[in-house]
Structure 1
Amino acid sequence: MKTVAGWGVFSRRSVIAASVALGLAASMGSGAFAAAKTSVTIGMTIEPIGLDPTIAAPVAIGQVSWQNIFEGLTTVDSAGKVQPQLAESWEISPDGKTYTFKLRKGVTFHNGVAFDSSVAKFTIDRARGADSVNPQKRYFASIETVETPDAATLVLKLKQPAGSLLYWLGWPASVMVEPKSAADNKTTPVGTGPFKFVSWQKGSKVDLAKNADYWNKSVSVKLETAVFRFIADPQAQAAALKAGDVDAFPEFGAPELVSSFEGDTKLTTVIGNTELKVVAGMNNSRKPFDDKKVRQALMMAVDRATVVEGAWSGYGTPIGSHYTPNDRGFKDLTGVYPYDAEKAKALLSEAGYPNGFSFTMKAPQMAYAQRSSQILQAMFAEIGVTMNIETTEFPAKWVSDVLKAGDYDMTIVAHAEPMDIDIYARDPYYFHYKNPAFNEILAKVEATADPAEQDKLYGEAQTILAEDVPALFLFVMPKLGIWDAKLKGLWENEPIPSNVLTEVFWEE
């Protein structure tokens, strides 16, 4: 995380009222400081399609509702660590196949219904059922039975060990939902969180209010109300911030406009990491990308620093594998195949392409994808490779042509799911990458619940991808946060896409 230097905090606001009652002299007046604000307006680029993260994948859903309205058995904190939430503790059997959760007592949903093991069972069965539309349904596939010995005990029996289960249970898609209100959570969400849903003015904003009956008394929730405003245009975002119409844009949409805030002492800019991994995926089943040497040569033709500068105004972290600095067990592998155009040419010649080759990049219309594609096009030309760019509408056309049909040579997209290195083991998946050794390592991750062993294995998995280059690993999109300098408690990094308001407050 980096805070932009030279941007200070504006001075304490104060109001000095002179007494005029009964003709008293002004010198008799008393000072009264304005109370700290208890409301916040958060700006977002994308309006969510709904407010229930258990039935749809877009990250904007969780950015409004996760940890604000909805909570899970576990949660993921700002450092990316798993923490207890509605489950206060758990025990894992020696064989890793039975998880026994002790649930918190005295927790109620916003509609007054008590949270207990029957609710947890309903939520998990709903997520793993045959007709489930849960975006992370595959993560519940290892669960064989859900048992409720008593109201405060939940037992998950697994078909095979799932060492990442506690992490998955902290995701937005795993939040607990109340049975009677679950069907309506898309538009009128009911959770156990520190804020209640008030209203949704489509195309404009979502209003939340503090949950006075919030169960977690160890947390002092300072905000009384919160508003999420949806402003798609970057220029309008900047104007809203400067005018004070929004207090914060935790993910400001235009890096090229960040410099326009210099000198504005009312605002601060905080630059952190997200889980958005920008990668140029290759069809590993199609020539010439089925040849590892070709893929390695293309990686060496890429100057990642130049890509970051041109695609996102220099904001972003270069990566050498499908992993971010937020993630546990992260290894910086950008040095495995660093930029070296001459070595890239030699390796291409060794692979049988001394005169290069031609291919097509299917690039979504988003700015980062278009800019990155143009930079890659110029870099590949330096080693004799011709890349044609075909703009592909995202998400519909990209999903149908690339993700589902696998009809492409190369594409570029920012993968948003946290810790999703397992996509290279999925079969089918659009990379068409197959490496039994990689798959075996990921299987070992799930076979153990030991965090240290998992971190070691994740390091091995990253290294295999860095050496095999099934995709060109480019950079992690930054979390460009711009907000009022007196606003505190917003997450600086984003291990899970979110706008957690629990600890947000205004400095007096």
Structure 2
Amino acid sequence: MLSRLCLAVALLVLPLSAMAQVERPLVVGMALEPPHLDPTAGAAAAIDEVLYDNVFQGLTQIAADGTVQPQLATGWEVADDGMSWTFTLREGVTFHDGKPFDASVAKFALDRFRAAGAENAQPQLFAAIDSVEAVDPTTLKITLSRPDANLPYSLGWGDAVMVHPDSADGNKQAPVGTGPFMFEDWRRGDRVILTRYDGYWGEPARVPRVEFAFVSDPGTALASLLAGDVNAYPNFPAPEQVPVLEANESFTVEIGTTEGEVILAINSARAPFDKLEVRQAISAAINRDVLIAGAMYGAGTPIGSHMPPHNPAYIDLTGVNGYDPDRARALLADAGVTNLSLTITLPPPAYARRSGELIAAQLRQVGIDVSLKPVEWAEWLSSAFKGKDYDLTIVAHTEPNDIGIYGRPDYYFHVANARLDEVLAKLGTEADPDARIGLLQEAQKLIADDAVNAFLFVLPKIGVWDARLTGFWHDSPIQANDVTHVEWKE
């Protein structure tokens, strides 16, 4: 009788035990939908947030702690003169359509990114490359026109992930990469769905399926978590709701750092913003503390130049063009600018829309008439970023170590500073860590003194997820929602 009872209990327990082992899909919430799905052909952070490391991989990887790690390359060596790098590539890697990855594919990808007229949003990553040679299937040699000590780091960006010649042209709609997840579906306006790739060369993904759901409204984001429709927000868009979630044992809340410098970009190619005094006046009219309290509910760190405080080269320049409305009025008078009217173009993120309303009020206090122009993300990219048709605009620059954009004369906020160009050029070839810090600090000062933009704050990384989940990144050293190590506890 006892043995029969034990057998009955065992039959009941086994299914329950098996259910505890069943893999669950994962639903990740994001505020913005990507305009397309090719990280090598667009500037929108949302592209990388869906695809970096999940679907696409580079020769190198920028890891959760910000360090450069091997990925499709297992190692690399630089020549003594710094003019060439040799990468040893991983064997047995296939794309999701079964095509092999080798040095000829890597050569194709790098040549494609740096070709004349390429869509790549970060051409400076490849500017020092003179030629790429597939020495043999597992050896890639990159010859430079000048030393580039930062090359392994540059090749870890989403803009440098590997693409295959047979699928590259279709990646915007149906991406094909080498990562642990493969593309399944894009339900426009709703979500992108990825499934685990069984032929992956490395450690398999720990969830069988991940859906990136696009939830633009902050209130809806909270409701979706509470209802269980979304399991996680690596970047929760409603900082005002954090206390509610911290008090709920069903959720984990982690607040980390990002590379997201939020700036009020100034179009200095358009009068009167070409005058230094006008740019200085705009910056001096802005109270960053009020901005962070009102737009971010206290979650944010003020900055005075284009560098996050966690960077070893950071210097506090918030006092340069710091809040001083009387000085702002005087600067406008000195510039001979009266009755100034301008428009602030606002992309969809809550930090931009909320900051825009507060900045408009502060600029009006110094005599500037302000109109607000909310636009969708695609329109911002086409009109403000690419078309340079704006007066002021608010956006977070989330690319890591991206101070080099201030050396691009055709960039959307139009920098023109010969000394800054010299400093950034030296930075591209300098390998000594202490010397690099000195150059980075000089660049920050030059940018602040020139009031290129009004620098606001660094975005926090507010991560919120189901307490049964582990494996999300605490910080954001690169714009990514890497879910390759995320798993359910039970």
TM (norm. structure 2) is 0.87
Confirm or deny: 8 A CA contact 1:52 1:61 kept in the other structure: yes
The separation in 1 between residues aligned to 2:192 and 2:383, in whole angstroms, is 34
Write out aligned runs for 1:383-462 (5 A): 384-391=366-373, 393-395=375-377, 398=380, 402-403=384-385, 406=388, 408-462=390-444
Confirm or deny: 8 A CA contact 2:97 2:176 kept in the other structure: yes
Higher alpha-carbon deviation: 337-346 or 366-375:
337-346
Confirm or deny: 8 A CA contact 2:353 2:374 kept in the other structure: no
Question: Match of 2:355?
Answer: 372
Letter in 1 for 2:32: I
Question: Match of 1:100?
Answer: 86
Query: Does 2:239 correspond to 1:255?
Result: yes
* CA displacement, residues 115-157 of structure 1 (integer Å, 9 cap, x when unaligned): 2111111111222223532333443243221112211110111
Confirm or deny: 8 A CA contact 1:373 1:389 kept in the other structure: no
Match of 2:161 among 159, 172, 175: 175
Q: Report SS of the residue matched to 2:41.
A: coil
* CA displacement, residues 361-402 of structure 1 (integer Å, 9 cap, x when unaligned): 3322534334323322333344x3323224153456655664
The 1:385/1:401 distance shift into structure 2, 3 A limit, reads: farther
CA displacement at 1:25 relative to structure 2: 9.6
Write out aligned runs for 1:23-62 (5 A): 35-36=20-21, 38-39=23-24, 40-62=26-48
Query: Does 2:111 correspond to 1:128?
Result: no
Confirm or deny: 8 A CA contact 1:363 1:369 kept in the other structure: no
* CA displacement, residues 267-301 of structure 1 (integer Å, 9 cap, x when unaligned): 12222233332212224355554443443344333
The 1:153/1:249 distance shift into structure 2, 3 A limit, reads: same
Q: Report SS of the residue matched to 1:274.
A: coil
Letter in 2 for 1:152: T
Question: Match of 1:75?
Answer: 61
5+ long unaligned stretches in structure 2: none
The 1:49/1:403 distance shift into structure 2, 3 A limit, reads: closer
Letter in 1 for 2:286: V
CA displacement at 1:248 relative to structure 2: 0.4
The 1:391/1:185 distance shift into structure 2, 3 A limit, reads: closer
Question: Match of 1:233?
Answer: 217
Q: Percent identity?
A: 44
The separation in 1 between residues aligned to 2:55 and 2:154, in whole angstroms, is 18
Match of 2:318 among 327, 334, 337: 334
The separation in 2 between residues aligned to 1:392 and 1:22, in whole angstroms, is 68
Q: Report SS of the residue matched to 1:107.
A: coil
Q: Report SS of the residue matched to 1:54.
A: helix
Question: Match of 2:71?
Answer: 85
Confirm or deny: 8 A CA contact 1:360 1:408 kept in the other structure: no
Question: Match of 1:322?
Answer: 306
Q: What is the count of residue pairs matched by the alignment? A: 485
Match of 2:150 among 157, 161, 164: 164
5+ long unaligned stretches in structure 1: 1-18
Question: Match of 1:358?
Answer: 340
Q: Report SS of the residue matched to 2:56.
A: coil
Letter in 2 for 1:476: V
Match of 1:148 among 134, 151, 168: 134
Confirm or deny: 8 A CA contact 1:249 1:483 kept in the other structure: yes
The 1:294/1:213 distance shift into structure 2, 3 A limit, reads: same
The 1:287/1:118 distance shift into structure 2, 3 A limit, reads: closer
Question: Match of 2:262?
Answer: 278
Match of 1:476 among 458, 475, 489: 458
The separation in 1 between residues aligned to 2:382 and 2:38, in whole angstroms, is 25
The separation in 1 between residues aligned to 2:58 and 2:462, in whole angstroms, is 27
Confirm or deny: 8 A CA contact 2:329 2:367 kept in the other structure: no
The separation in 2 between residues aligned to 1:36 and 1:29, in whole angstroms, is 15
The separation in 2 between residues aligned to 1:313 and 1:476, in whole angstroms, is 13
The separation in 2 between residues aligned to 1:207 and 1:396, in whole angstroms, is 21
The separation in 1 between residues aligned to 2:459 and 2:250, in whole angstroms, is 25
Confirm or deny: 8 A CA contact 2:149 2:428 kept in the other structure: yes
CA displacement at 1:20 relative to structure 2: 12
Higher alpha-carbon deviation: 453-462 or 367-376:
367-376
Confirm or deny: 8 A CA contact 1:252 1:482 kept in the other structure: yes
Question: Match of 1:198?
Answer: 184
CA displacement at 1:503 relative to structure 2: 1.9
Confirm or deny: 8 A CA contact 2:239 2:296 kept in the other structure: yes
Letter in 1 for 2:301: T
Confirm or deny: 8 A CA contact 2:281 2:332 kept in the other structure: yes
* CA displacement, residues 38-65 of structure 1 (integer Å, 9 cap, x when unaligned): 3322122333333321233322222222
Confirm or deny: 8 A CA contact 1:418 1:496 kept in the other structure: yes
* CA displacement, residues 434-462 of structure 1 (integer Å, 9 cap, x when unaligned): 11111111101111244443333222211
Confirm or deny: 8 A CA contact 2:257 2:459 kept in the other structure: yes
Confirm or deny: 8 A CA contact 1:80 1:327 kept in the other structure: no
The separation in 2 between residues aligned to 1:189 and 1:484, in whole angstroms, is 29
TM (norm. structure 1) is 0.85
Structure whose residues are more often helix by fraction: 2
The 1:199/1:332 distance shift into structure 2, 3 A limit, reads: same
CA displacement at 1:305 relative to structure 2: 1.2
Letter in 2 for 1:391: K
